Amino acid sequence: MESTRVDRWLWAVRLTKTRPDAAAACRGGHVRVNGRPAKPATTVSPGDEVRARVGDTTRIVEVVRAIEKRVGANVASACFIDRTPAPPPEASVPVARRDRGAGRPTKRERRVLDKFRTGRI
């Protein structure tokens, strides 16, 4: 097998939980094959680059093997090369936040926040 449908491949290599989810992602414009928007029936073959927005992250993978059936996780991970860049490091300095709808801070809370912001903890 040299090529397969992109929605079927995304499901088979476990990038999406279900095939209808993969098809919906394609229809919603969240999947690109070689830089072009992909419909569910777009074919992928070894060497193609697939960009799929899964949840909050955009996964960039290169197709190594085109499969149609869902396989075990070890076999599925061998069917693509993950080229997704590492997420940016999160801020190490905690940010002072108040609960939404908590109202104005009291005088004591405002003093604590000012000390925190200026670094005079």
**What's the pLDDT tens digit per position in 58-110?**
999 999 999 989 989 999 999 999 999 988 877 666 666 777 878 888 899 88
Question: Given phi > 0 = left and psi -120 to 50 = alpha, else beta, which region is 84?
Answer: beta
**What's the pLDDT tens digit per position in 14-25?**
999 999 999 999
Determine the pLDDT at residue 115. 87
Q: Within 13 Å, how many C-alpha atoms sit on residue 40's CB side?
A: 12
Q: Whole-model pTM?
A: 0.72
